[in-house]
Amino acid sequence: MVAHPFLVGLSTVILLGAVLNDVAFRTVPNWIPATLVMLGVGIRMQAGGLALGLLACILLLLSAGFCWHRSWVGGGDVKLLAACGLLARPELTGVMLLEVALAGGALALLYLALGRVVKAPVDACPPGRLRRILWAERHRIYRRSSIPYASAIAAGTLLVLYKG
């Protein structure tokens, strides 16, 4: 059975919000994974596989939590990945993780390439939210700071949601 398009669409909007927030501030607010869990429960109740979806969510939380403990990923990414494990059909969790990993690799390569060409911002932080975000991102790329991994999580999840 296919999930309700409204729930999938709302999940898409919330995932895009997570991406924007991660790019701008390198955080994923707690309300985003919490809302995705509620939507995931609704999707799994409607499309089937709630018990396996909850199991996938818990296993992803534990394994990604281990990665957080080792400082490999951020805490917001852990919660987001676990919540996304509930959105995807349980049998596609492995595919989702592969898609997330591939998107993360592409994102890392992009940031490595940009790190070779982006110069440090010499001017003060400009006024305006978008300009401030672009200035800060330029500074992060120059310093080879963290990458917004919520982008990879969202991309991998959305690929599975819309393909599967």
Return the C-alpha torsion angle 75, 34, 107, 133, nearest 10: -90
The stretch 81-98 carries a mean pLDDT of 95
Report the domain count for the chain. 1
C-alpha dist (Å) from residue 20 to 39, 82, 93, 129, 154: 20, 19, 24, 12, 11
Averaged pLDDT of the chain: 92
**What whole-number distance in Å separates Cα of residue 63 and Cα of residue 67?**
7
Look up the pTM and report it: 0.90
Lowest mean pLDDT segment, chosen from 51-55, 97-101, 109-113, 142-146: 142-146
Tokens of 32: 């985003």
From the list 75, 102, 108, 76, the residue with the least C-alpha distance to 159 is 102
pLDDT-derived band at 3, boundaries 50, 70, 90: low
* Structural domain of 45: 5-163
